[in-house]
């Protein structure tokens, strides 16, 4: 084939330019460490790499979210550790106070100690995270949650739980609200509350009782248990009997109007009629069971009402005022029993919250491990997509270098060939 002299130059220059641009591309890959220099180098991988880096960034974000959650949970946990110790101390004080041999002065000093404890508890409940945010105020982190008001300890926080996104699908509560920890504690045994009426003169001491058959329970019903002491027949021996009455007003059927009754309402039907009393023997009705020990006097009344919420502050302050005011006797024992019972409930409640904190902290560790694994995977995939394989790149570079050198050398030889050299 006939070759134009210019073609010799042109095609050599073109192929050298090409070789040079390839060499430059490889060289850039090596210096940047990236296989994909622009999206055009591998559009699919470039788009995928963007998606992966976002996933990786989000995963990293979750790690820092988890750190925040862990910090908050640990802070709550250590505060509640203090609360647990404090409640145990209060319990010890209550046990001491129950000792019949204590003098009035002894009890007053216990009351004083308890007042100190109450202030301590208030301080713990109003703990902050170190930058002024209250731990137990719900969403209202800048509002002091617990304030002593004339009507008792008031809670000024709310039920809000701050959730933290700890992985793509899990939002974890990063704390617990004050209402949950200190306020919403059921009194009595959790279902009902037994109480001795303050005017009782006998020595009857009522136990907290328990539920024997939840199917028989009548929700929201209150009862009274009244003792009568007297002979069955005139001149007979004094017997102690008790009557249980359901004092709940009858429910009004929806849609009916209750007319005011000029007469007294009919007395509630007794649930258990005149039953002989044996100290310590189980008294059971409507699925509930408790016992009364000691010697009740005639007319002594005990009430059974549905459990309501009672704050731990109220439990302790009630105990303090009782110790300060009331001389020893059955009412103190009843009161202390009740307080002990409530303290147990409060302690249980705190321990339950601590258990859930622990579970969450454990879960965080598991999620952390999972997140680390995921991060590793993302980084590996990203690296596969966009990082240069140095072995291959350097071998490519050497090859391209050799090719360019060869092209340059042959060019100088070929272009030197001319007939004009010989004429």
Partner 1 sequence: MAGNIFTSALSGMNAAQVALTTTQHNISNANTPGFTRQEAMTSARPGVQFGGGFIGQGVDVVGVKRMYDQFLSTQVLQEQAQSSYLSSYHTALKQIDNLIADPAAGAAPAMRDFFSAVNGVANSPESIPARQTMLSNAQYAVNRFQAIDRRLTDIANGLTDQVTASVSQVNNYAKQIAALNGNIKRAMGSGGGQVPNDLMDQRDQLVTMLNKEVKATTLQQPDGTLNVLIGSGQTLVIDEQSMPLQVVRSALDPSKVDVAYNINNTTVVLQQSSIQGGNLGAYLTFRDQSLEPMRNELGRVALGMAMSVNQQNQSGLDLRGKLGGNIFHAATPRVEVGGFNQGTAVISATIADLGALTTSDYQLKVNGVDNYTLVRLSDNTVTNITSKLPQTIDGFTINLASGTATSGDSFLIRPTANAARDISVLTSDPSAIAAAAPMRGIAGTINPVSGALVSANTGSGTIGSGQVNMSPVTIKFSDPALPPQTYTVTDSSGAAAPVTGNYVAGNPIGYNGWTVNISGAPGANDVFNVVRNINSTTSAQMSASPAVTNVGTGTISPPSAAVTWTTPFTVTFNATAQTYTVTGAVPDVSATPIPYTPGSPIKLSYNGWTTQITGTPANGDVFNFVPNKSATGDNRNALQLAALQTTSIFSNGTTSLQAAYSQLVGNVGAKTNELAVTSEAQLNMVNESIKQQQSFSGVNLDEEAANLLRFQRAYEAAAKALQISNNMFDAVLALGR
Query: Under the rule (CB under 8 A), what is the footprint of partner 1?
Result: 1-7, 10-11, 14, 36, 38-44, 46-48, 50-51, 53-54, 57-58, 61, 64-65, 68, 131, 133-134, 137-143, 154-156, 158-165, 168, 171, 179, 183-184, 219-220, 251, 254, 306, 308-309, 417-420, 423
Q: How far is the CB of 266 from partner 1 (least distance, A)?
A: 20
Nearest CB to partner 1, comparing residues 101 and 214 = 214
Nearest CB to partner 1, comparing residues 283 and 350 = 350
Q: How far is the CB of 125 from partner 1 (least distance, A)?
A: 15
Nearest-angstrom CA–CA distance, 212 and 395:
83
- Residue 82 DSSP SS3: helix
CB 363 within 8 A of CB 172: yes
Two tokens at 288?
């509930």
Nearest CB to partner 1, comparing residues 154 and 270 = 154
Q: How far is the CB of 285 from partner 1 (least distance, A)?
A: 21
Nearest-angstrom CA–CA distance, 137 and 119:
18
Q: How far is the CB of 387 from partner 1 (least distance, A)?
A: 13
- Residue 134 DSSP SS3: strand
Nearest CB to partner 1, comparing residues 235 and 254 = 254
Two tokens at 33?
């460490």
Nearest-angstrom CA–CA distance, 304 and 389:
80
Indicate the helix (H) or strand (E) that contains 227: strand 223-231
Q: How far is the CB of 185 from partner 1 (least distance, A)?
A: 10
DSSP category for residue 264: P
Q: Are strands 301-306 and 192-196 parallel, antiparallel or unpaired?
A: antiparallel
Phi, psi of 260, rounded to the nearest 5 degrees: -65, 130
Residue 76 makes CB contacts below 8 A (sequence gap 6+) with 135, 175, 176, 357
Nearest CB to partner 1, comparing residues 100 and 422 = 422
Q: How far is the CB of 331 from partner 1 (least distance, A)?
A: 27
Nearest CB to partner 1, comparing residues 6 and 101 = 6
Of 6, 73, 13, nearest to 357 (Cα)?
A: 73
- Residue 37 DSSP SS3: coil
Nearest CB to partner 1, comparing residues 151 and 262 = 151
Instruction: Identify the bridge partners of residue 172 per DSSP, sorted by sequence position.
Output: 164
Q: How far is the CB of 51 from partner 1 (least distance, A)?
A: 5
């Amino acid at each position: 084939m006939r070759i134009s002299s210019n073609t010799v130059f042109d095609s050599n220059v073109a192929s050298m330019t090409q070789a040079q641009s390839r060499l430059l591309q490889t060289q850039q890959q090596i210096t940047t460490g990236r296989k994909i220099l622009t999206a055009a180098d591998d559009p699919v991988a470039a788009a995928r790499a963007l998606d992966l880096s976002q996933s990786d960034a989000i995963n990293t974000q979750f790690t820092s979210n988890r750190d925040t959650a862990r910090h908050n949970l640990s802070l709550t946990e250590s505060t509640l550790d203090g609360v647990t110790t404090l409640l145990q101390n209060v319990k010890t004080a209550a046990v001491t106070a129950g000792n019949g041999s204590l003098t009035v002065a002894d009890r007053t000093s216990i009351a004083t100690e308890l007042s100190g404890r109450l202030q301590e508890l208030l301080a713990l409940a109003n703990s902050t995270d170190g930058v002024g945010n209250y731990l137990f105020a719900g969403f209202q982190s800048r509002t002091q949650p617990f304030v002593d008001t004339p009507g008792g300890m008031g809670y000024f926080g709310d039920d809000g739980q701050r959730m933290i996104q700890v992985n793509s699908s899990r939002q974890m509560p990063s704390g617990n609200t004050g209402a949950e920890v200190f306020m919403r504690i059921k009194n009595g045994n959790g279902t009902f509350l037994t109480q001795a009426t303050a005017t009782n003169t006998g020595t009857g001491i009522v136990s907290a009782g328990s539920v024997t058959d939840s199917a028989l329970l009548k929700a929201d019903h209150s009862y009274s248990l009244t003792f009568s002491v007297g002979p069955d027949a005139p001149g007979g021996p004094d017997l102690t009997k008790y009557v249980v009455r359901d004092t709940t007003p009858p429910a009004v059927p929806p849609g009916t109007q209750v007319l005011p009754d000029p007469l007294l309402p009919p007395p509630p039907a007794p649930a258990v009629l005149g039953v002989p009393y044996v100290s310590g023997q189980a008294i059971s009705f409507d699925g509930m069971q408790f016992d009364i020990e000691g010697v009740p006097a005639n007319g002594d009344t005990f009430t059974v009402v549905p459990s309501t919420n009672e704050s731990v502050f109220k439990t302790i302050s009630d105990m303090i005022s009782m110790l300060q005011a009331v001389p020893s006797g059955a009412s103190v024992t009843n009161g202390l029993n009740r307080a002990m019972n409530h303290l147990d409930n409060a302690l249980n409640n705190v321990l339950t919250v601590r258990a859930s904190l622990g579970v969450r902290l454990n879960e965080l560790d598991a999620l952390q491990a999972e997140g680390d694994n995921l991060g590793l995977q993302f980084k590996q995939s990203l690296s596969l997509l966009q990082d240069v394989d140095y072995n291959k790149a350097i071998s490519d570079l050497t090859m391209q270098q050799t090719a360019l050198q060869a092209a340059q050398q042959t060019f100088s030889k070929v272009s030197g060939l001319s007939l004009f050299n010989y004429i």
